[in-house]
Amino acid sequence: MKQAIADTSALVSLAFSGRLEEICKAMALLIPLQVKKELEEIAERNDAKASAAKMVLELIKTGKITIKNIAEKNKVQNLLGKDIDFGEAECFELAFEQKTKTILMDDLDASYALAGMARAQSISIRISAAAVIELAKQKIISKTEAKKSLLKMIQHRGWEKTTLEYLIQKYFD
């Protein structure tokens, strides 16, 4: 089974897609403790993101998403910066420590800031939509189902009229 590290924003997006449970069956999702803490903070609110966060927390509670501890906390501190928060830094360090080759991350600034180090470690940073597309590639869901899920995710995240929406329309039509 393929393994990926997922940050908070990617997990919320995937919950919005309606495909997170299927993704958990198709690949092993790992998260650092900071991502769980961020999800708990989001879950305290009273909005659609809170509902998505609660769904993710339930998958963590039932063991479908695994929390892993970071061994080298000092390396996480060294990654922090203007574009990289604690959760994203822990995701990158966890990928390095677990020798995981894929990180799901929707923060483009953080992805860009980590890109050089990721390439040097042969780590691929992908947006959450890549996990839904992988379900279609593996024929777990149809292309039509994938498109609907991705458009649902885009709508909930407020990503209408972005490059992602245009690429999805092109890829799935």
The residue-averaged pLDDT of 115-144 equals 94
Enter the pTM of the model. Answer: 0.93
CATH architecture, domain 2-140: 3-Layer(aba) Sandwich (3.40)
pLDDT at 1 over 60: no
The residue-averaged pLDDT of 33-44 equals 97
pLDDT in tens, 82-95: 999 999 999 999 99
pLDDT at 142 over 90: yes
Domain boundaries, the chain: 2-140
pLDDT in tens, 88-121: 999 999 999 999 999 999 998 999 999 999 999 9
The H or E element that residue 139 is part of is: none
CA distance to 74, 80, 92, 102, 123, per residue, from 77 (Å): 5, 5, 12, 21, 19
Pairing of strands 102-104, 124-126: parallel
Question: Which residues make beta-bridge pairs with 5?
Answer: 30, 103
DSSP result, 61-90: HTTSEEEE--S-HHHHHHH--SS--HHHHH
Q: Which amino acid is at 1?
A: M
